Amino acid sequence: MAKFDLRGIFPPLITPLSKDGEIDIASLKRLVRFLLDGGVDGLWVLGATGQFYTLSERQRDVVTDTVIEAANGEVPILIGCIDSSPDRSIARGKRAMASGADGIFATAPIFDSVTQVELFSHFRQIRECVDLPLVAYNAVYATQTPFAVETVVCLAEEGTLAGIKDSADFPEFRRLLVELRHLPEFRIVTGHAYLADVAFMIGAVGCVPTLGNLIPATYANIRRAADRGDWVSARKFQEEAVILDRIVRCWEPRISVFGSFFGAAKTVLRLLGVIDCSNPGHPYPCPTAEQESRVHAELLRLGMLTRESILSSPDGAR
């Protein structure tokens, strides 16, 4: 059975929805299998890419239970406990623990910008009440609360945090690596999907790439190349991933960043036969026939229209 180890590629799992906005359990199970067959090292569940903020408590429970059951202990599963207060995050954490999660993650409290003093309190309370490894998710773009490097170091040294996913400023990511070098068991991973090779090169142990939902084998190959110290190959695979940006860029008319990504990404997964419906969920508009046609044409140009081609792995998948 899996246990907590935030190393390697942990795609932030997309949440497939039916036409009426319910969790598409069958598609979610297929997506989990698609990622595991692609060679990923774990799953990051109910983060921003999983649309935790649009799902009801019941729907979050369904996602949690479905993913843990589908993965069946093959890889570690980290469940998001992001909310507006420690008490609400603790409730989600206890639910994740009861379902068999291997770890949990949380951001700063959402909605209100808080101080570092309040960050200490937030994470200490969660860790005290939930007996699972706790990972901080530095998502300042959404919370408006930056994590000071000194705060992370203190929480790591005292054992409150087991790791951090950093999606903020990349130079600060380098500072994290330097300042936490004395704690080799503390897991530092990047959320920058286009910089996975660079992050591994400078000392990160993992990446939580949104595009890992679509090309899991490519990201698994980046990790394998990094493990070998083969930075030429790592760069080649990373550039393959960067090219996927064309799919999102062809999404016109553009809407919000998340709305455009969910529409494009779920359309890709539907065209690959992984999920049944490209519904991005409220408040985002469903894809038009013209938008889906553009994605289809771009996939043809990239040679990625079949499940087999997107899973192909010169290094061999798990």
With respect to residue 183, please indicate whether it lies within any of the assigned structural domains.
yes
Helix (H) or strand (E) holding 187: strand 187-190
Q: Is residue 244 part of a domain?
A: no
Q: What pLDDT does 251 receive?
A: 84
Q: Is 258 contained in some domain?
A: no
Paired residues of 77 in beta bridges: 43
CA dist 23 and 5 (Å) reads: 28
Q: What phi, psi does 204 have (nearest 5°)?
A: -65, 155
3-state helix, strand, coil in the chain (%, to 5): 50, 10, 40
| CB proximity list for 249: less than 8 A, separation 6 or greater | none
Which of 13-17, 91-95, 299-303 bottoms out in mean pLDDT, i.e. has the lowest? 299-303
Per the omega criterion (within 30 degrees of 0), is the bond before 253 cis? yes
Residues 60-86: tens digit of each pLDDT: 999 999 999 999 999 999 999 999 999
pLDDT at 23 over 80: yes
**Phi and psi for 146 in degrees, rounded to 5?**
-75, 150
The strands making up 134-138's β-sheet, listed across from edge to edge, are 8-9, 206-207, 187-190, 163-166, 134-138, 103-106, 77-80, 43-45
Q: Report residue 316: phi and psi, to 5°.
A: 85, 125
For residue 25, pLDDT over 70 is answered with yes
Confidence of residue 156 (pLDDT cuts 50, 70, 90): very high
Task: Please tell me the distance from the alpha carbon of residue 147 to that of residue 267, in angstroms, as a whole number.
Answer: 34
Confidence of residue 306 (pLDDT cuts 50, 70, 90): low
Degrees (nearest 5) of the Cα angle 302, 306, 311?
90
CATH number where 80 lies: 3.20.20.70
Distance in angstroms (rounded) separating the CA atoms of residues 51 and 49: 5
Q: Is residue 58 part of a domain?
A: yes
List pLDDT tens digits, range 112-123: 899 999 999 999
What average pLDDT does the segment 34-53 reach?
97
pLDDT value for 1 = 56
Within a domain: residue 254? no
pLDDT at 162: 98
Expressed as residue numbers, the domain containing 210 is 8-228
User: Which one, of 87, 83, 81, lies nearest residue 101 by Cα?
Assistant: 81
Q: Determine which of 228-242, 250-264, 273-287 has the lowest per-residue pLDDT on average.
A: 250-264
Q: Phi and psi for 136 in degrees, rounded to 5?
A: -85, 140
Domain count for the chain, please give it.
Answer: 1
Q: What mean pLDDT do residues 154-173 have?
A: 93
At 236 the three-state DSSP class reads helix
Predicted pLDDT of residue 292: 93
Q: What is the mean pLDDT of the chain?
A: 93
Average pLDDT over residues 190-200: 96
In a domain, 174, yes or no: yes
Instruction: With respect to residue 185, please indicate whether it lies within any of the assigned structural domains.
Output: yes
In a domain, 293, yes or no: no
Question: Which pLDDT score, from 0 to 100, does residue 255 have?
Answer: 80
φ/ψ of residue 134, rounded to 5: -115, 125
Element (H, E) at 106: strand 103-106
Indicate if the pLDDT at residue 314 is higher than 70.
no
